[in-house]
């Protein structure tokens, strides 16, 4: 839930999927890749950002597993 004041948004709680999304995009590298892909495909909805972020993280995991 959030509260709107004239100058400030305050977030009081996140859902579990919200926490998962933030964990996925916590690194600057992942967040920047996610934003660039979203811009290139022309979709910046939260649903699209979530799907893109999962793909970016999955690719990073696969890259690490393949390099060992």
pLDDT tens, 27-58? 999 999 999 999 999 998 999 999 999 999 99
Segments in 1-68 forming alpha helices (H): 16-24, 28-41, 46-66
Domain that holds residue 18: 14-66
Do you know the residue count of the chain? 68
Yes or no: say if 10 and 3 are a contact pair by the CB < 8 Å rule. Answer: yes
Q: How many domains does the chain have?
A: 1
Q: How far apart are the first and last CA of the chain?
A: 43
pLDDT reported for residue 11: 81
Q: In which band, very low, low, confident or very high, does the pLDDT at 12 lie, cut at 50, 70 and 90?
A: confident
In a domain, 55, yes or no: yes
pLDDT reported for residue 44: 87
Dihedral of the CA atoms 39, 44, 49, 51 (nearest 10)? -90
């Amino acid at each position: 839930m959030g509260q709107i004041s004239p100058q400030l948004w305050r977030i009081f709680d996140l859902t579990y999927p919200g926490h998962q999304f933030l964990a996925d995009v916590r690194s600057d590298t992942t967040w920047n890749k996610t934003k660039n892909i979203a811009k290139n495909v022309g979709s910046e909805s939260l649903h699209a950002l979530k799907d893109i972020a999962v793909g970016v993280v999955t690719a990073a995991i696969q890259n690490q597993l393949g390099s060992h």
